[in-house]
Amino acid sequence: MKILLIAPASGKWQHVGRSRAFGGKAFRFSLLSLLSVAAESPEEADIRIVDEQIETIPWDADVDLVGITCMTAVAPRAYEIARHFRGRGIPVVLGGMHPTLCPDEAIQHADAIVTGDAEGVWQKVLADVSCGCLEGIYRNEQQRSLAGLKRPPRHLLSAQEYATINAVQATRGCPHGCDFCAIAAFNGRTQRQRPVEEVIAEVKDLHGHMFILVDDNLTADPEYAKKLFAALKPLRKSWVTQSTLAITEDSELVRLMADSGCIGLFVGLETFVEDNLTSVNKTCHRVEEYRQAIQLLHRHGIAVEAGIVFGFDGDRPEVLSRDDSGRPPVSVSQRNS
């Protein structure tokens, strides 16, 4: 079976120019979603992955099935792509965050959708494509163990087009339930963990020195994280990941993380207004702790990339010019001039 797997991109993400930071590669590191789908396909399947950030979609491709991964941000583009291939009589299956969260909408634009993980259901989808009996919505509601996950076939991506193709996942999900975050809705408020030895075997075999753990909150279970960090240390690789600032309450955890090669952490600070955190049920850290927590990470050689949200219900336009440094606030118009 010839399968075309597409990662749609729209707006500024499409064909990201080489003139941009790092030749446009700064945030191009993964596609683990489609690699995981490819890993679940039978060996004899002829699979091509197309990342619209890099290449034009082969609209005339001779294929038996198109699979599209879909975050909410790219749903309109995913639907456009689906319309084209369905118009040619080729079945289209959508999967990922958006079809899982909005199945009734997504199914109107595809022959079938998969909700939840691909593992455990993709092979049934392929069998149904073969017999021409696709069923519509394939609900994968079970929280399958992550033991025995197949290796992502990274050779299907052009390594030179990415900051790194070494995206790995040790855990899925997060026990917190911040109102704005899709993770709890997708996974439930739980975290599933891969056996440490399986993660280590995969990391060991990666080409190159650098990798990224695309986990939602890698340190949610400190005991698991400590075991993982201890096992990563001898590999002497560098890596980056995501977690909450709660990690800084356990200095041993931070030390082990740094010793194991962590050089960067994405944390969702979200806001500098404490009431905003409370209003969205983000209870794992407090605004007054930010400065000290970030200093601790810096002392361990871990760079911090912060995710900030503007537009909480309590935010007013002044939030954009607020400055807690003691200096007089700079207005937005001054900043732009």
**Residues within the interface to ligand B12 (CB under 6 A):** 7, 9, 13, 27, 30-33, 36-37, 67-69, 71-74, 93, 95-98, 101, 114, 117-119, 122, 167, 169, 181-183, 214, 216
Residue 217 touches ligand SF4, criterion: CB under 6 A:
yes
Q: Is the Cβ of residue 68 or residue 203 nearer to ligand B12 in the bound state?
A: 68
Residue 106 touches ligand SF4, criterion: CB under 6 A:
no
Report in angstroms how near the CB of residue 245 gets to ligand B12 at its nearest: 16
Q: Choose the contact partner of 244 out of ligand B12, ligand SF4, none; CB within 5 to 8 A by kind.
A: ligand SF4
Q: Choose the contact partner of 129 out of ligand SF4, ligand B12, none; CB within 5 to 8 A by kind.
A: none
**Binding-residue pattern over the window 257 to 296 for ligand SF4, x denoting contact by CB under 6 A:** -----------x-------------x-x------------
Q: Is the Cβ of residue 3 or residue 218 nearer to ligand SF4 in the bound state?
A: 218
Q: Choose the contact partner of 217 out of ligand B12, ligand SF4, none; CB within 5 to 8 A by kind.
A: ligand SF4
Residue 219 touches ligand SF4, criterion: CB under 6 A:
no
Report in angstroms how near the CB of residue 9 gets to ligand B12 at its nearest: 5
Count residues contacting ligand SF4 (CB under 6 A)? 13
HEC per residue, the chain = CEEEEEECCCHHHCCCCCCCHHHHCCCCCCCHHHHHHHHCCCCCCEEEEEECCCCCCCCCCCCCEEEEECCHHHHHHHHHHHHHHHHCCCCEEEECHHHHHCHHHHHHHCCEEEECCCCCCHHHHHHHHHCCCCCCEEECCCCCCCCCCCCCCHHHCCHHHCCCCCEECCEEECCCCCCCCHHHHHHCCCEEECCHHHHHHHHHCCCCCEEEECCCCCCCCHHHHHHHHHHHHHHCCEEEEECCHHHHHCHHHHHHHHHCCEEEEEEEEECCCHHHHHHCCCCCCCHHHHHHHHHHHHHCCCEEEEEECCCCCCCCHHHHCCCCCCCCCCCHHHHHC
Among 176, 203, 245, 265, binds ligand SF4 (CB under 6 A): 176
Positions touching ligand SF4 (CB under 6 A) are 174, 176-178, 181, 183-184, 216-217, 244, 268, 282, 284
